[in-house]
């Protein structure tokens, strides 16, 4: 009504560029046509008198470009990142739906941002891990990735595949997060807060991973912001029906986080950040030793540089304890080690003197992290 009153027209709402996506329309935005003419591939189906329109082919101009770019619009778009960098010191951004842009415009946006500030970090909204090399060649610094999809699927073997096959072979870093503004909340998935804690710890120590905490994750928020990824319409109704924000999505509705939560991850996140900072040299090697490759619910990563190491052991079985035999000597060629536990149950910061191998017991869904010398 306001659009009609003010401008005398109605703009089409935004919508996903994936056919049959279950996301609702994005009623607070609209798309701009990037070409003066219709998509080249669509013209044979259109009458000569066809007015400008916005449908899938226009939105997906990476696949269906026209031949006459809107030059002034392209220049405005490519100057957005440099403007915010210069005026407000913004040092990075995600190029949202960059995969739908004409290839030339996508590259111009990245090039212009890097010309203004070579250290400006640009995240590709790329969900397919195998497209990391394409994103790297385009000039992106990392991808959004799909850790949030693979990590919950422990019993299907996807967590193990992610950590042992996908991440070690990547050519560009990915965000390492168990949730994003478009996905279900970690605490709303199977095993709830225990799983959220489990995955949050993992994501601080993954090869080629840039730790990502979604707003609200730190207080075990369960209500999603959007239903765009790995969710359906039922996913919006996870709060109690008497909650004032029952069924509300922050992307579309007034919403606040449940800051009165009775538990949180804030102290844990602070501890994990400290451990990560202290061992960045090891983590940046992106070449951990992989332990227990045949057990799909056990995770063991051991980073070692010949002098010091970082060990992460995780029990992905949320029903039973597990006993782990850890043969450090096989990887270090040493007979004695000092293992200082930075995170292990309630006795973090304890130090063990062990030989070449030792045993470790972990409870259901427990993760332990230690520095080794």
Q: How many angstroms separate the CA atoms of 59 and 29, rounded?
A: 13
With helix as H, strand as E and coil as C, how does the chain read?
CHHHHHHCCCCCCECCCCCCCCCCCECCCCCCCCECCCCHHHHHHCCCCCCCCCCHHHHCCCCCCCCCECHHHHHHHHCHHHHHHHHHCCCEEEECCHHHCCHHHHHHHHHHHHHHCCCCEEEECCCCHHHHHHHHHHCCCEECCCHHHHCCCCCCCHHHHHHHHHHHHCCCCEEECCCCCCCCCHHHCCCHHHHHHHHHHHCCCCCCEEECCCCCHHHCCCCCCCCCCCCCHHHHCCCCCCCCCCCCCCCCCCCCCCCCCCCCCHHHHHHHHHHHHHCHHHHCCCCCEEECCCCCCEEEEEEECCCCEEEEEEECCCCCCEEEEEEHHHHHCCCCEEEEEEECCCCCCCEEEECCEEEEEECCCCEEEEEEC
| Of the candidates 295, 335, 332, the residue with the CA atom closest to the CA atom of residue 311 | 332
What does the pLDDT read at residue 148?
A: 99
CB distance 336 to 354 below 8 Å: yes
Give the tens place of pLDDT for each residue, 157-166. Answer: 999 999 999 9
Instruction: Tell me what pLDDT residue 345 has.
Output: 66
Q: In the chain, what percentage of residues exceed pLDDT 90?
A: 85
Residues 197 and 188: their CA atoms lie apart, in Å, by 12
Once rounded to an integer, what is the mean pLDDT over residues 341-365? 84
d(CA 285, CA 309): 11
Q: Report residue 348's pLDDT band, with 50, 70 and 90 as the boundaries.
A: low
**Is 346's pLDDT higher than 70?**
no
Q: What is the pLDDT of residues 59-94, one digit of tens each?
A: 999 999 999 999 999 999 999 999 999 999 999 999
Task: Look at residue 112 in the predicted model and tell me its pLDDT.
Answer: 98
d(CA 365, CA 198): 6
pLDDT at 307 over 60: yes
What is the average per-residue pLDDT within 307-324?
Answer: 97
Does domain 2-283 fall into CATH 3.20.20.80?
Answer: yes
Minimum mean pLDDT range among 27-41, 102-116, 205-219: 27-41
Mean residue pLDDT across the chain: 94
Res 28: pLDDT: 79
Please provide the CATH number assigned to the domain covering 289-372: 2.60.40.1180
Task: Find the radius of gyration of the CA atoms of the chain.
Answer: 24
The structural domains of the chain, with segments of one domain joined by +, span: 2-283, 289-372
- Mean pLDDT of the 47-63 span: 95
């Amino acid at each position: 009504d306001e659009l009609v009153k003010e401008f005398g027209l109605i703009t089409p709402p935004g919508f996903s560029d994936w056919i049959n996506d279950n996301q609702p329309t994005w009623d607070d935005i609209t798309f701009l046509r990037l070409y003066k003419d219709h998509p080249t591939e669509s013209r044979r189906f259109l009458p000569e008198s066809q007015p400008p329109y916005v449908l899938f082919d226009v939105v997906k101009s990476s696949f269906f470009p026209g031949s006459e770019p809107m030059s002034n619009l392209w220049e405005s778009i490519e100057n957005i990142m440099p403007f915010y960098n210069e005026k407000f010191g913004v040092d990075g951004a995600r190029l949202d739906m960059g995969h739908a842009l004409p290839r030339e415009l996508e590259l111009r946006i990245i090039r212009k941002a890097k010309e203004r500030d070579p250290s400006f970090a640009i995240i590709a909204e790329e969900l397919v891990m195998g497209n990391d090399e394409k994103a790297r060649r385009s000039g992106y610094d990392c991808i959004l990735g799909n850790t949030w999809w693979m990590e919950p699927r422990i019993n299907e073997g996807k967590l193990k595949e992610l950590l042992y096959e996908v991440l070690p072979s990547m050519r560009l870093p990915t965000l390492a997060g168990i949730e994003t503004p478009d996905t279900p909340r970690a605490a709303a998935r199977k095993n709830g807060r225990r799983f959220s804690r489990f995955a949050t710890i993992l994501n601080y120590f993954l090869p080629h991973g840039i730790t990502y905490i979604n707003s609200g994750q730190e207080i075990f928020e369960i209500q999603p912001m959007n239903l765009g990824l790995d969710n359906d319409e039922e996913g919006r109704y996870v709060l109690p029906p008497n909650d004032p924000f029952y069924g509300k999505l922050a992307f579309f509705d007034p919403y606040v986080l449940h800051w009165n939560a009775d538990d949180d991850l804030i102290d844990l996140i602070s501890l994990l950040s400290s451990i990560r900072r202290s061992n960045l040299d090891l983590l940046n090697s992106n070449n951990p030793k992989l332990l227990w490759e045949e057990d799909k619910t056990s995770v063991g990563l051991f980073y070692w540089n010949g002098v010091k190491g970082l060990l992460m052991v995780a029990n992905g079985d949320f029903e039973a304890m597990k006993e782990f035999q850890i043969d450090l000597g096989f990887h270090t060629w040493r007979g004695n080690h000092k293992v200082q536990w930075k995170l292990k149950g309630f006795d973090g910061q304890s130090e063990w003197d062990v030989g070449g191998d030792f045993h470790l017991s972990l409870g259901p869904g427990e993760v332990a992290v230690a520095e080794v010398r």
